[in-house]
Structure 1
Amino acid sequence: MFDTILVPTDGSAHAEAAAETAIELATHHDAAIHVVCVADTGPLGDLRLPGDAASAEEAMRGRAQEHVDSVVERVESAGLDVTGTVLEGPPEHELLEYVDDVGVDLVVMATRGRGGVQRMALGSVTDHVIRFGDIPVFVANADESA
């Protein structure tokens, strides 16, 4: 049913739970997994990083690669085919473009369970992918205590 599964990661416990779910689904369906982390290097990206813009962008790309490498290693340990990719730009747009470019059959991603004002103020990459993508999205919700 699914040949290619995309699992976006940001290194969070929620993304780790989604990766585990993706590995289980891929094992069941004998599917390949694509692990993607999007470094949001735009003007509204991670504002918590110190230093000049070039240093901050490089740090974001490096951190994104570490997140991808960590999940890729777990997928390889499960004996599955895996591709790891770091993208740059607005995550919600980059993920949907990747889905189209690669021909992904299923997206397995996390939600942090934000609601109300916090969700409206921060937006939701998961919500965007569900609303504007045209493929199934499996939403994994990690235990809030993790």
Structure 2
Amino acid sequence: MFDVICVPVDGSEYGYDAAEVAIEIAQKFSSKIAAVHVLEEFSLNSYDSEEDSGDAILAKITKRADEVGVEVIGHLLTADPLRDMKFIVDQTRADLVVIHAHGANNNRFVSFDENDVSDTQIGSVSERLLRNSDVPVLLIK
């Protein structure tokens, strides 16, 4: 049913929860995982430290998937996650995206309830991907 499941991960617990769901789905459908970590274009940290952190995040997901026999292809990219996530998903040739509702940067939220913090609040990257993706998106809360 799903050949490639894309899971964007940012190192947050939310991201790892989404990866766990993606791995479970991949197990059931004999799918591959395209794990994506985006290094933000403009960061105050050194590129080397950002790259090391991204490699560690992808390695953690790959290790977990290996334990249950799921193949992971890691993608460490420099981009703007808000602007470029749809393009990145398209490039992985995914037929499903599993993404977390909230990310490491909890300051960027979109709420469907005006001026109210609620259960319907999701991160800006997730919201944009839900609106623009050409493939199904499974939002993990």
Fold agreement, TM-score > 0.5: yes
Q: Equivalent of 1:62, from 52, 61, 70?
A: 52
Please name the residue that 2:75 is paired with: 85
Give ranges in structure 1 of 5+ residues lacking alignment: 50-54, 142-146
What CA distance in whole angstroms lies between the structure 1 residues aligned with 2:116 and 2:79?
25
**Structure 2 counterpart of 1:4, which letter?**
V
Offset at 1:117? 7.3
What is the TM-score when the length of structure 2 is the normalising length? Answer: 0.81
Identical amino acids, percent of aligned pairs = 31
Please name the residue that 1:133 is paired with: 133
Residues 5 and 107, structure 1, Cα contact 8 Å, conserved in 2: yes
**Structure 2 counterpart of 1:66, which letter?**
A
**Structure 2 counterpart of 1:63, which letter?**
S
In the alignment, does 2:97 pair up with 1:104? Answer: no
Matches within 5 A, 1:109-120: 109-112=99-102, 114=109, 115=111, 116=115
Residues 81 and 125, structure 2, Cα contact 8 Å, conserved in 1: yes
Residues 62, 94 of structure 1: alpha-carbon distance in 2 compared, 3 angstrom cutoff: farther
What is the TM-score when the length of structure 1 is the normalising length? Answer: 0.78
In the alignment, does 2:81 pair up with 1:72? Answer: no
Question: How many corresponding residue pairs?
Answer: 129
Runs of 4+ with >3 A deviation: 113-118
**Structure 2 counterpart of 1:83, which letter?**
I
Bigger relative contact order (CA 8 A; separation at least 6): 1
**Structure 2 counterpart of 1:71, which letter?**
I
3-state secondary structure, aligned to 2:98:
strand
What CA distance in whole angstroms lies between the structure 1 residues aligned with 2:85 and 2:67?
25
Higher helix share: 1
Q: CA RMSD in A?
A: 2.3
